[in-house]
Amino acid sequence: MSDGNLFAQQAANRRRSRILVAIFLLFFAWIGFGGDLAFYLATADAPPGAYRHVVPWFGVGTTLLGAGLAWWSWRRGPKEILWATGAWQLLEAENLQTTTLVNVVEEMAIASGVPKPSVWIVPDSDPNAFATGMDERAGHVAVTEGLLQLLDRDELQAVVAHEMAHIRNDDVKLMTLLAALVGTIALVADGSRRFLWHGGRVGAKGKGGGKKGGAAAIVLVLWVITLLLAPIVSRLLALGVSRKREFLADATAAQFTRNPASLASALRKIEDAHGPTKTIRRGAAHLCIADPLGRRLTNKQGFVADLLATHPPMAVRVARLKAMAYQYEQTGVLPEES
């Protein structure tokens, strides 16, 4: 990848990260102020002495909550993701496998030109890997025990190079924020639906009539639709972001190692492994080098697969890498990836 393309990609990721946080705050503001508006309209025609909702305390509270959660996700998102997977930090190599891992991480840090990330081991027999962090100075690379057992040195180096590409391209900030905020949105939406289910039946007795009562009903319907769709939309956003970046990380990794065939071989072995990566949950699936939830959709192409799969088809990724390997063998030059 040329420096111009790299800087453009990094700038785009930083811009998308800011937009993502803004959307997150707007979601919380709407959940709060939308509820306040519906409650205000519903109580506007209440009889004298009855409660009238005037102060938007719910909106102020949810907006402050959203700002706090966004800050927490920014500061603690990487560590929370690592904690959720049960990963433990490799501080000192203990055997040949971990020594090899530390060596290839150091090599790829030099090749990528970024500081050496901390290294983590995920206790899972399914081969997989991911990177997280908020910038290249504080990156983390995690691999499963199954990956260490399955791949040879060149293949492991290629997988680590792929994760280092995500760090160098500044993908990890956006993808880590997505993992943290998507999970938070799902939890808040679920909690709000529970509140609506239990509290709505009580509030239904005090609904007003007339135009304001009808307006309150409309706002309430829009509010409920937001709660229902927010987790789905945020999840699809995370999937779309992941798919677009995997091809670029594959190509960048091939340039780091000068060995695209090894990454193709590693992806093929990972794809042929059975079973999902049980320690990695749905909210962090887009961080991984391969779909950790089972690869039925990833193996397919078409609109549904493109919409729901966490990663592009593995066969397509392998084919592209093999084409790069063939060109490199013939010309000694790897193709530029824009």
Distance CA 233, CA 331 (A): 44
- Residue in 163, 246, 329, 337 annotated catalytic: 163
Integer Cα distance of 39 and 36 in angstroms: 5
Rounded to a whole number, what is the largest CA-CA distance in the chain? 86
- Name, in order, each residue with C-beta under 8 angstroms of 299's C-beta and a sequence gap of 6 or more: 271, 313, 314, 315
Q: What is the 3-state secondary structure (H, E, C) of 113-153?
A: CCCCCEEEEECCCCCCEEEECCCHHHCEEEEEHHHHHHCCH
What is the identity of the amino acid at 127?
A: P
User: What φ, ψ does residue 109 adopt, rounded to 5°?
Assistant: -65, -40
CA-to-CA dists, residue 106 to 6, 150, 324, angstroms: 21, 20, 25
Per residue in 139-162, is it b (16+ CB within 10 Å) or e — as a string? bbbbbbebbbebbeeebbbbbbbb
Interstrand relation of 88-89 and 118-122 (parallel, antiparallel or unpaired): antiparallel
| DSSP codes joined into one string, 72-93 | HHHHHHHHHHHHHHT-EE--S-
- The rounded distance, in Å, linking the Cα atoms of 56 and 155 is 57
Q: Which two tokens stand for residue 92?
A: 């000192």
What element of type H or E holds 186? helix 171-203
163 is catalytic: yes
- The Cβ-side half-sphere exposure at 89, using a 13 Å CA radius, reads 9
Q: Is the C-alpha dihedral spanning 313, 85, 132, 80 positive or negative?
A: positive
Catalytic residues: 163
